[in-house]
Amino acid sequence: MRFWLVLLLTVSLFGGFDAKLTISKKADQRVHVAVIDGSFPTERTRKLHAIFVADLKISSHFLPDEMYRTGSYDSKRGTPALRTQRYTITYRYDEKDTDNTLWVKVVNPANAKVIMEGRYAVSNPAKYPFLVHKAVSEINAHLGYGSIDWINRYVVFARYTGRKQSEILLADYTFHYTKVIIHGGLNLFPHWGDPQQKSLYYTAYVQGRPTLYRLDLQTGKRKIITHSTGMIVCSDVRKDGRTLLLTMAPDGQSDIYAYAVATGKTTRLTTFRGIDVNGVYADQGASVVFVSNRLGYPGIFKRDMASGSVSQVVFHGKNNNSVDAYGDTIVYSAREGQGVFNLYLSHTDGRGGRPLTLSGINQFPRFSPDGKTILYIKRSYEGNAIGYLSLTTNQSLLFPLGDRKIQSLDW
C-alpha cells in the first residue's frame, strides 16, 4: 500500500513535467550571470534589463539572475554580494534623437576584472532592442559559446486588422520593436526571400485575385512574381534563393509547385485531388514535407524529389495542419481536442514524436536558422504570445503579443 501511494505521489508530482526536470538538470551547466543597470533608471532602461535577461536565457548558455539591479557603470570595485555569479553585465543607455548608444561591460564580480566591453549605437531609438541582442550575441561569442546570431534577425509577420484586412510587419524576436511595412487590403503569408533578409515574398489580393509579390526592402520596390486563381502562398524559399515552393490552385485545386525564380518556370510537385499545402524543403533539399488531407484529415507527408514518391512521415494524431523542417528534423502542430494544439518534434523517416508543448493553442512552428530553437505562436487563457523553445535545454520564453491575431510569420 505504501509503495503504491508513494508511486502515485511521484507520478502526480512529476508526470507531465519532464521537460522542466530536464531544465533543472541542465541548468547547473549554464553560467550564472547578473545584469546591472548603470544608466539613470527609466522605463526604457528597465525594458533593456528584461531584454538582456531574455537574450541570456534563450542562448541556452547562461542562467541569468532575473532581479533588476542598479549600480555605477564606471565602478572599478568588485561586487562581493554577487560573488555567486560568474559574471556581471553592467550597461548604460543614452538616448538622443539620432544617437542612441548602449555601453556594455562584462566583469568578474570576484576580482573586478573586465572581461569585455562594447559600445553599440543605432540612429532609430525604436530599434533599441537590437542593441541588446547585438551585445549579448557578441558576449556569447567572446566567451566561446556556439553562435546565437539569430537573435539579431528580424521576424516578419502578418496580422489581421479587420475583415479582409491585414498588414505585414517587421519585429525583433522579442516583439519589443515592431514596424508596419505593408498595409491596406489583404496582405498575407510573408516569407523571407534570402538568408540576409534583404527581400521578402508575400501574397496580396488584387481585385480579388491572389497575387505573389517580391518586396526589395533596401529599395522599397515590389514586383509581381505570379498569380493564381483561388489562392497562392510562398511557403518556402530554397537556401540559394533560386527556387520557391508555392501553394497554387490554377484550376481551383491547391497543390504544391516549385517555381524557378530566374525563368519563371513552374513544376507541379503534388497532384492529389484533395488539399496539399505548406510545402517546406527537408533533408537538405532532397525532399519536401507538406500538409495533406489524403487520409481524410490533415497529416504530414513527404515527397522525395528524386523519385517523386509520396509517403506519410507522421503517424501520430488526426489533425496535423502545420509543419516546418530543418535537415531531417520536423516540427508540427497537432490538434488534440477542442481548443488544444500542441507542437511535436519528429523526423522525416518517421522516427520520434517528442512533445514540445502541453497546453493552449500552439501554432506556426518555425525553426531558427541554426535549427536549435523553435519560434511559435501560443494562444492560451492568459492571451496571445510569441514563444521560443530551446531544443537543447527545453528552456522556453513567451512574449505577449496583444489582441490582434497573427496570420503567419517567418524569421
Partner 1 sequence: MKHTYFAIFSLALTLLVGGCTQQRAPIPNDQAGFDAGGVTGGVDSHGKYTGSDGTSRSGFHLLYFGYNSYQLDRGQIQRVLNDLPQIAAAAHRGHIRIEGNCDEFGTDEFNYALGLKRAKAVKALLVNNGIAASKVSVVSYGESNPVCRGGKPACRAKNRRAEINKVP
Interacting residue ranges for partner 1, rule: CB under 8 A: 1-2, 5-6, 8-9, 11-13, 15-16, 160, 162-166, 186, 188-189, 205, 208-210, 229-231, 233, 235, 247, 249, 252-254, 274-278, 291, 293, 297-298, 319, 321-322, 333, 335, 337, 339-340, 358-361, 363-364, 379-381, 383-384, 403-405, 407-408
User: Is residue 47 within a helix (H) or strand (E), and if so which, with residue range?
Assistant: helix 43-58
Q: How far is the CB of 336 from partner 1 (least distance, A)?
A: 9
Q: How far is the CB of 168 from partner 1 (least distance, A)?
A: 14
- Identify residue 295 by its one-letter amino acid code: L
Q: How far is the CB of 11 from partner 1 (least distance, A)?
A: 8
Q: Rank residues 79 and 292 by Cβ distance to partner 1 and give the closer one.
A: 292
Q: Rank residues 140 and 292 by Cβ distance to partner 1 and give the closer one.
A: 292
Q: Rank residues 41 and 402 by Cβ distance to partner 1 and give the closer one.
A: 402
Conformation bin of residue 402: beta by default, left when phi > 0, alpha when psi is -120 to 50? left
What's the CA gap between 205 and 182, in Å, rounded?
13
| Residue whose C-alpha cell is 566567451 | 143
What's the CA gap between 404 and 228, in Å, rounded?
28
What's the CA gap between 340 and 334, in Å, rounded?
8
User: Is residue 213 within a helix (H) or strand (E), and if so which, with residue range?
Assistant: strand 209-216
Q: Rank residues 178 and 319 by Cβ distance to partner 1 and give the closer one.
A: 319
Cell of 130: 537590437
Cβ–Cβ under 8 Å, residues 112 and 131: no
Q: How far is the CB of 292 from partner 1 (least distance, A)?
A: 10
Q: Rank residues 316 and 405 by Cβ distance to partner 1 and give the closer one.
A: 405
Conformation bin of residue 318: beta by default, left when phi > 0, alpha when psi is -120 to 50? alpha
Q: Rank residues 150 and 341 by Cβ distance to partner 1 and give the closer one.
A: 341
What's the CA gap between 38 and 92, in Å, rounded?
5
What's the CA gap between 203 and 186, in Å, rounded?
8
Q: How far is the CB of 402 from partner 1 (least distance, A)?
A: 9
DSSP state of 154: P
Cβ–Cβ under 8 Å, residues 319 and 298: yes
Q: How far is the CB of 249 from partner 1 (least distance, A)?
A: 6
Q: Rank residues 152 and 293 by Cβ distance to partner 1 and give the closer one.
A: 293
Q: How far is the CB of 346 from partner 1 (least distance, A)?
A: 17
